[in-house]
Each structure stands twice: as C-alpha cells, then as structure tokens.
Amino acid sequence: MTGPSTVATVTPRAFLPESKLPAAVAWDGNAVRYLDQRALPFEIRVASARTADEIVEAIATLAVRGAPCIGVFAAYGVALLRRSIPEDAAFRAAAARVREARPTAVNLAWAVDRVLSADDMLAEARSIHAEQERVDAAIAAYGAELIPEAARIITHCHTGAIATAGGGTALGVILAAQRAGKRPVVYVNETRPLLQGSRLSELELRSAGVETILQVDSAAAISMARNAVDLVIVGADRVARNGDTANKIGTYALAVLAAHHGIPLYVAAPRSSFDASIADGEQIPIEERDKREVTHFGGARVAADEARAFNPAFDVTPHHLITAFITEYGVLRPPYSESIGEILRVS
C-alpha cells in the first residue's frame, strides 16, 4: 500500500491559536487534498490521495476523521476513482472498498451511495460538500438557542470544522453560543485513546476565545458531582430510527453520568448521520481498532507485551439518555420514533 504524498507541512511554531487551519478536504483536479488530522496540534500537514489505497488508508488511519468529513472526502474520492478507473467492475470494487473503510459512521456509505447514483459524480460530491456548510450553520443556529448564558459544558471527541468539512456540529453550536456573547465554559474530555479532545477540540475552542478546561474522560463524574456542569453536547456517527446513537467511545458513560446528575445531554448531528434502515442501536456496527492504541500511549508502550485489549472506537447511547437531537431541521425531542420519523420522511 502506497502512502499518501505530503503536499505541504508547516512547523508547530506557525500553528498558533489565532492561525486558521487549511480546509479539511479539497478537490484539486487530479487528487483529493486533505488536512492530516493525525499531525495536529503540532504540525499542519496537508496531503493528497489519488488511489483507492490512499483514500482508504486516509480514512482508516483517521488522517481524515469525523463522520461528515469522512463522507465528503469519500465522495470526492469516488468521483476521482471514476475518472482514473475506466473499467466499470474495477471502479465499483474500488468504490466499495472506500465505502467500507470504516464501519460505524453512516455518513460514509450515505455519501458514497449518493455519488454512485449520480450522473455527474464530481458535481454530486461538490453538492455534498456545499450542503454540509449549510447544514452545520443551521445546526449551530438551532443549538445556540439551547445554550444558557455562561453555560458550563462537557464535550467529548471532536466535532468541529475539520470533523465535518463544514462548520462543525456540537462544536459549531458552542462556537455559535460564543459568537452570541454567551461566554460558555467548556470541559473538554481528552477522549481516549486517540485524544481528539486534547489535540483538536481544546485548540479549536480556545482559538475562538472560548474558555476551555481539559480533563481526562473519567473526570466527568467529579465535574458533574461538584455542580460544575450545566449540559453535555456531543456529535454522532450513526443514529437509529429510535434515537439510539453511536458516537466516540466514552459517550455512553458520559450519558449515564449526565442522567444520574440530572444534566441534559444533547446530540448535534446532520440528517446524513441518521440511518433510516435500522430500528435500534443493536444493529449499529461498532468498529474495533488495533490494540496498540490502548497498549501504547504517544507511541510509547504502557502495557506488557502479552496484554490483551478491548478497543471499540464507538459505543451506543440508548435514546432514553438523550435529551434532544439538534439537526438542520430543528431540535428533535422524544418520542424519537415520531420526531426522527418525521425528518426521515421529508428527506
């Protein structure tokens, strides 16, 4: 498998909070460019994918990550492969590999299927990308209304601009509340084992002037017990028809804690993260990743060679622990079979 070619790198010194990140994903004519999120926050590395191997590798290694962003990247990727693989069966096989590069985020299959059914695949990929901007803006606007003044918020994983290739979902809501002058304070869960919270959310929020406090995931209980938290807001990788929601591992624990402490938990997610084909969370495939993500930390071994490990990348939060969904169609409240059913019917 060939590695993706690096287009440009910038040293950490240039990556000051006020500096803007390059686009998460961009079409450049004969490749799909992407920001390699693995290098953040120490390096801004932009790379290019041209082949099916490179597209799959970028998604599988989380160089490109976040459910909607994976969808946008894969959409351009499939449009690119259509041009470079003239033989139909070979093209379909390559597109299928991209579609299966990660199993949990339904946005990936949704975007690939949309592109495959279009006459002009590149135009369809561009539409998916442009729609994400509009969808995220709507989610941010609906969500900001739910955030009280000076709210103390826990968020988990990273749901900002580079996770969607738009403006972000849960982080987009927090940033909109900040722009509205509400001065939120955010406890950022570090998000074991790949630290999307420490590496990405903390930086993005602080760069926008939001007060941030980084905490290990297991500190959420004491933060809540000390009455330091008003609400929790997270994103989603796949939502079933009944509202059961897969998101980054640790979200379920956070939801149980929030319910125990009487704290609302909101899920901000676009329609493309809702899977009309599944009734409940039991049917959501959960990605399990390399045990080295658990047995090593920052490349250094932290467990014995023989240690076995359980490393699910996601968990499923049962719908009854979710206060509301914030979507581009508005805020969905229980009973979810009805409110989710309605957006699935109109879209």
Tell me the catalytic residues: 237
Using CB under 6 A, pick the residue from 48, 132, 196, 245 that binds ligand MRU: 196
Instruction: Examine residue 129 and tell whether it contacts ligand MRU (CB under 6 A).
Output: no
Beta strand extents in the chain (DSSP E only)? 5-10, 25-27, 32-35, 44-49, 152-155, 185-189, 211-215, 231-234, 238-239, 245-248, 265-268, 296-297, 300-301, 314-317, 324-327, 330-332
Check: CB of residue 197 under 8 Å from CB of residue 41. Answer: no
157 sits near ligand MRU (criterion: CB under 6 A): yes
| Residue 259 contacts residue 318 (beta carbons within 8 Å) | no
Q: Which of 66, 71, 193, 197 binds ligand MRU (CB under 6 A)?
A: 66
Q: Does 235 bind ligand MRU (CB under 6 A)?
A: yes
169 sits in which H/E element: none
Told to check if 169 binds ligand MRU by CB under 6 A, we report: yes
Per the CB < 8 A criterion, the answer to whether 112 and 75 are in contact is yes
Is there binding between residue 164 and ligand MRU (CB under 6 A)? yes
Among 34, 46, 58, 65, binds ligand MRU (CB under 6 A): 65
> Counting contacts by CB under 6 A, is residue 317 touching ligand MRU?
no
Contact status: 237 vs ligand MRU (CB under 6 A): yes
Which range in 20-28, 113-121, 145-153, 232-240 contacts ligand MRU by CB under 6 A? 232-240
Of 31 and 108, CB closest to ligand MRU: 108
Query: Minimal CB distance to ligand MRU: which residue?
Result: 235
Residue 64 makes contact with ligand MRU by CB under 6 A: no
Q: Is 232 in the site for ligand MRU (CB under 6 A)?
A: no
Q: What is the distance between the alpha carbons of residues 148 and 29, in angstroms, rounded to a whole number?
A: 45
Answer positive or negative: Cα dihedral of 208, 214, 220, 224: negative
User: Which residue, among 27, 84, 86, 29, has the nearest Cα to 53 in the 3D structure?
Assistant: 84
Rounded least distance, CB 157 to ligand MRU, Å = 4
Binding site for ligand MRU (CB under 6 A): 62, 65-68, 105, 157, 159, 163-164, 169, 196, 235-237, 247-248, 313
